[in-house]
Structure 1
Amino acid sequence: MDVSTTQLQPSNLNKVDATFSKKKKKSSETSEPNSSTSLIGVATFLRDNITTVGLELSRNIVSEMLIQENSNMIIQENVQTLYVVLGEIEYLTDNERIDVLIKISDHPMQIIVFLSLPPSMRLA
């Protein structure tokens, strides 16, 4: 049987359209509460996650700031210790002490290495 030549009667076409429209209305009516509930659920989930991420980020920033502040205090203490140690070295002029402080203050690890050396090795 060849269905390519079969045509829908206008009355049948209207019935199909009406049936489709009813099904479409029913599905959209039932999906609206579900979709609004889903959207509310997703929005709540996102809000909670954003809040959690914000709190973690704040904690990490505060932690990094405390670490940086602590590092700066340690560097300042080491510079002060370096100044005292340089004062104990014989034959070192005031200008040389200042030069050393200026040059080495920009390199905190060098201060730590210098201070960890035995006194006899510091400027050998």
Structure 2
Amino acid sequence: MSVSGRDMMFIGGIPAVISFNASSRMFRGVFIGLNAEVDFLACSPMDLQPQGEAALSVFLETCRQQKRSPLLARQEGQKGYLLEDIYAELEGPARQKGIDLYQLVRDQTLEFQKTGYREKGPVVFLNF
């Protein structure tokens, strides 16, 4: 499995942009649509999922303790969350790969909420 600089994966229903740093030989994931920068590092693409799950779990627990939303709101004067706009942009690329993006997000979100992490399953990468 190779990861390009324009790949995205989903963990707990939240998209993360994946990049590779050639000098450090590390993969980096950065969640998008959250109210803080939440990133994770891995030595291989297969290690991205558990590292991302751990980072997301810590972030969500911190948000729960501080009683704040983990999602980034749209700009002032607009209702809703930036993540909704991101999902709308990703719907087309997901459909081209035969993925129902909204079903994927629902399934991952429910599983992540139940267990704090997603059961081992196929990692979903999208190119955009």
TM-score range, shorter chain: under 0.3
Q: When the two structures are superposed, what TM-score results if normalisation uses the length of structure 2? A: 0.23
Larger Rg: 1
Higher relative contact order (CA 8 A, sep 6+): 2
Which of the pair is proportionally richer in strand?
Answer: 2
Structure number having the greater helix percentage: 1
TM-score (norm 1): 0.23
